[in-house]
Chains A and B, each alone.
Chain A
């Protein structure tokens, strides 16, 4: 059908090399981006607004000129190609549907421009895939937000682009519809097997759909990996705070035990805790300062003196200052002996009631869940930006 179908199966990965965008007023939106997005993957660019993710996407689409670096698909360099000659299509944030054309004409637009004569069959197919068959003769203004979103998707998908770019495609939808569309998008991506590059500021959305996420901040990629990797083992304070919540506690390295799969011993406010070497993102020499991090749901608490299920790094002398029961779990704020507060989320397994504020507790977490971050990074980076 299109050039895509004839393209060799392998080797058509999207590669961004040293990509940089600097505006004439001196603002650098994208610093120097290196990314390799394998063909057929669902890739998410996640970051707060203004981090350069949309600019990156627009450079790939050809709607923004590139200051430096290159964009290639396989061995085809498209860095300076005109947008209408790129094997790339975009689902725009506000859909940008043509108001003067019917839904089926909107969907057929790309095929007609490429000179395809018989568009009826493909249009009917794609409308069926996106469940829009009944809307075919309506105008965009007559459709609901969710339907318009699907039209925007159908209009791009019908061209079978090598890369489909999605610019916050679900941003304008309400929460319930957004959840439904997330699953829908994922289903369609699996079905058509195209490369999807999805830009979003919603971490949950990125984690639900993407195989690989690149977390962007201030024009650079902070960390790249699968949703579980990013969540379980964040490499920077920004990722630790932007993706979910984290307890970060200052400490300094006192020694390393074992080799590559050994433990880093960190003195954390008088308690020595251990962290696996592969989860320590610092120079592990004695005296190095760092942030010890642990996710709230990995923190276990028990009334003082009672045994804790999975003992690991163990601390005593903490007091509950706040507890809020939210049904599926209870969220505790615990003041540690050294004065700082920590978050602990406890699953509502029914084993124990809600502990009242003021209760003295012991705190513990398994060493393999902790991580160690560079102390030069801002402890509050990424907070309140999600």
Chain B
């Protein structure tokens, strides 16, 4: 090592295109597919959306659209459509809460109590995906319909008045959201519950924890990564959903997704639709960042 003379040690830069330089480039080649994918499917659409939100609001299909940095679009969109926006967040929060309760019970049962039925039950959780989202929501329209057996049964036991209905109420919309996004809650919950070592629960009960104490002190904290993952996977798409509100609700249950859809397809008010989309995205981003910080999941994930 010490005896190496400068003459026998060619500097790497002297050998152009040598192995060292090639190695330097390998990393960039490897991220190329991902970078192209990200550019094509995220950066370009995102830029297009952002540009749309800053269109001149007076543009039309005939006169064309110009990016005029018309930031007032945001103000207008918010002042006009704050109600569907708040409603979206509220419905999504309700649906997420219901999903969490139902999903936790289901995931817990599959992870700890299903025994040899575990795999079958997991398949059953995913099975609804074999049918289209739209068709399943339409069937809920039939089930919750005014002449359906659910309404009949509820009217018979006087939970529902004789001229009250389920369809076209917030109940139907939230129920639809809960139903449609339940698998997104169950799967992450199952994944983190299934990883919990049963001996930890035994250890807790050995250390004077009753079953409920053991659940809240050991099982629940250890399942938090699944809870965070599941709530995000449910809340984010539920906020932007418009199928449930349009099929199961009435104009009174309009969510922000419906508004954006109308603005884009019916009214042709691209600027306002774009602005509303960007606002929705920002609100979700802030909420999620706050939530993750609050849940302290860096350690758990």
Which residues of A come within 8 Å of B, CB atoms? 61-63, 82-85, 88-90, 92, 94, 96-100, 109-110, 113-114, 155-156, 159
Contacts and interface: CB of A to CB of B under 8 A. Distances in A.
A63 B203 CA distance: 9
* B interface SS class: helix
Interface string B201-239: 011111111100110011001100000000000000000
A114 B202 contact: no
A329 B17 CA distance: 67
Which residue, of A97, A99, A156, has the highest number of chain B Cβ atoms within 10 A?
Answer: A99
Contact of A109 (B202, B207, B222, B300): B207
B24 to A, nearest CB: 36
B158 interface: no
Which residue, of B204, B207, B214, B222, has the highest number of chain A Cβ atoms within 10 A?
Answer: B207
B200 to A, nearest CB: 5
Given A100-B221, A100-B222, A110 B207 contact: yes
Nearest to A152: B203
Contact of A110 (B208, B218, B300): B208
A159 B199 contact: no
- Of the four ranges (under 10, 10 to 19, 20 to 34, 35 or more), the interface on chain B belongs to 10 to 19
Contact of A159 (B204, B205, B208, B222): B208
A84 B203 CA distance: 10
A92 B207 contact: no
A89 B199 contact: no
Given A84-B210, A113-B209, A90 B203 contact: yes
Contacts of A97: 203
A113 B199 contact: no
Nearest to A86: B206
Which residue, of B208, B209, B300, has the highest number of chain A Cβ atoms within 10 A?
Answer: B208
A96 B200 CA distance: 5
B13 interface: no
Nearest to B210: A84
Contact of B206 (A90, A98, A99, A114): A90
8 contacts: A61-B206, A82-B205, A83-B205, A85-B208, A96-B202, A96-B203, A113-B217, A155-B207
Given A98-B218, A100-B221, A109 B199 contact: no
Nearest to B201: A96
Interface string B232-251: 00000000000000000000
